[in-house]
Amino acid sequence: MNRLWLLIAILFPLFPSTSLAASIIDLSDPYPVYFGTVQRIIDGDTMVIAVELWPGLTGTYPVRIRGIDTPETTHSDCPGVQEWGLEAKAKVEKLYDVGSQVRLEHIEIDSFGRVLADISRWRSDRWLDLGHELVDEKLAVEWMSNQSDVPWCVLSKSR
C-alpha cells in the first residue's frame, strides 16, 4: 500500500491540473449521478428507490425530490389540500411505475436526515426532471430547506 502512495506522490505532480489528473480526481461532487429502480411511491415528492451503488451492490432508500414541495396526502385540516396531494401522488405513480428506471443527481442529505436528489426519467430522447414536471403541472411548488413552510391552505383556495 505504501508503494501505491509513493507512486501517486511521484506521478501526480507530472500532470498539470487541466490534464488527466484533474479528470481522475474530482472532489467537487462526490456523488454525481446514480441510477436506480422505483420500488414505491410514498407521496408526491418522495419515493423509495433501489439505488445501484456499485456493480452488484444495491441499497433501497426513500428519496425526496430536491427543490420542491407537494401538498400533504394526510393530516391536513384544510379543504382541498389532501386531494391536491393525492393528485400529485397519482401523477408521480403514472409517470414512475414501480420497476421503472430513474437517474439521481445532486444528491444530498437535508437537516432532517432525508436523502434529497433530482430525480429524472428517460423519455426517448432526453431525461425529464420530475420536480420540473410537477411544478409545471402546478402539483408542486419550488421550495428549499431554508424557506418557511408552504402555505398550502392559502394556495388551495386559489387553485
- Please give the residue range of the domain that contains residue 72: 31-157
Query: Domain tally for the chain?
Result: 1
Read off the pLDDT of residues 19-29 as tens digits, 9 standing for 90 and up.
454 455 556 77
Whether 64 is in a domain gets the answer yes
Whether 8 is in a domain gets the answer no
Whether 86 is in a domain gets the answer yes
Give the domain CATH number at 111.
2.40.50.90
Q: Which string of DSSP letters, residue by residue, matches 30-66?
A: SS-EEEEEEEEEEETTEEEEEEEEETTEEEEEEEEET
CB 81 within 8 A of CB 74: no
Whether 17 is in a domain gets the answer no
How far is the CA of 154 from the CAs of 23, 26, 127, 149, in angstroms? 49, 45, 33, 12
Whether 84 is in a domain gets the answer yes
Q: Which string of DSSP letters, residue by residue, matches 81-115?
A: HHHHHHHHHHHHHHHS-TT-EEEEEEEEE-TTS-E
Whether 149 is in a domain gets the answer yes
Q: What's the pLDDT score for residue 26?
A: 59
Whether 51 is in a domain gets the answer yes
> Amino acid identity, residue 22?
A
Whether 14 is in a domain gets the answer no
CB 64 within 8 A of CB 74: no
Q: What's the pLDDT score for residue 32?
A: 84
The residue ranges of the chain whose pLDDT is under 50 are 6-7, 15, 17-19, 21-22
